[in-house]
Amino acid sequence: MKIFCLILTLTFIIPLSNAQTKSQQTYKKIIEDASGNRIDYLTYYDLISTGNWIAVETKNKEGIVIHVKLRKSTQEEKEELIISTTSGEKSDLIGEKAPKFRLRDLNGQLISSANTKGKVVVMNFWFVWCKPCVLEMPEMNGVYQQYKNNSDVIFVAITFNKKELVKKFLTKHELEYSVIADAKEVFNTFNPYNSAPINLVIGKDGYYKDYIVGGIHGHGLAKTIQNALSGGD
């Protein structure tokens, strides 16, 4: 599971730890479809997110990707992708104290460790060209629907992508809860694995109750939230 998730997450941006500082440079790459026609980034994203295409990179001497060309995915690659998006791994961070945070969503609403104290916080870390992240969004929305009327549960989706790109992305892919864009610092702070998607639950006491690296199972996440609400581990 880890291998293919990392291919998907790193294919276009090199490592996540460097992606944020090089994001503007990323968009200036030459990107071509399988026929050699130049395409823009959003077209690239739409194609790569289907799972039918793989990005073949060319790097310069500094190791920076300067050219990307699409090719058809093999059946084996498609099958590996399906596996990677339907399973997640628990982190050994569960039970540890979560870092403090202070964020504003796309609507300007403040979400912080201070104003969510005593509440259960569900954080979803993602980015726009991460196919596993996109595939799990409907399921994450479904879990959110179970708790949207509960003021003691806060959902937030966090990405390092720029606000303008995120807004364009959300015109095609809906996230029903608060979205934080351009959150480079908190993305790095909460993501020592340099991977995505990551979903975590912070309990009322400020400690991690769940931390899933990779795709989620909605029932399991909902169960963790319920346990956190009742004060359990």
In terms of average pLDDT, the best of 45-59, 113-127, 206-220 is: 113-127
Residues 108 and 61 in one domain: no
The residues with which 54 forms a beta bridge, in sequence order, are 71
Helices H, strands E: what count in the chain?
10, 11
Residues 225 and 170 in one domain: yes
The residues with which 56 forms a beta bridge, in sequence order, are 69
Lowest mean pLDDT among 50-54, 67-71, 221-225: 50-54
End-to-end CA distance of the chain: 26
Average pLDDT, the chain: 81
Residues 57 and 170 in one domain: no
Paired sense of beta strands 30-32 and 65-72, if any: parallel
Could you list the residue range(s) of the whole structural domain that residue 70 is in?
2-84
Residues 77 and 93 in one domain: no
Of 30, 56, 84, the position where a domain reaches its end is: 84
Q: How many percent of the chain have pLDDT more than 70?
A: 78
DSSP string, 163-232: HHHHHHHHTTS---SEEE-S-HHHHHHH-TT--S-EEEEE-TTSBEEEEEEE---HHHHHHHHHHHHTT-
Residues 38 and 72 in one domain: yes
Residues 182 and 223 in one domain: yes
In terms of average pLDDT, the best of 28-32, 74-78, 101-105, 183-187 is: 101-105
- Pick the more confident residue, 42 or 169: 169
Residue 22 has pLDDT above 70, yes or no: no
Q: How much is the pLDDT for 89?
A: 63
Of 84, 100, 121, the position where a domain reaches its end is: 84
The structural domain count of the chain equals 2
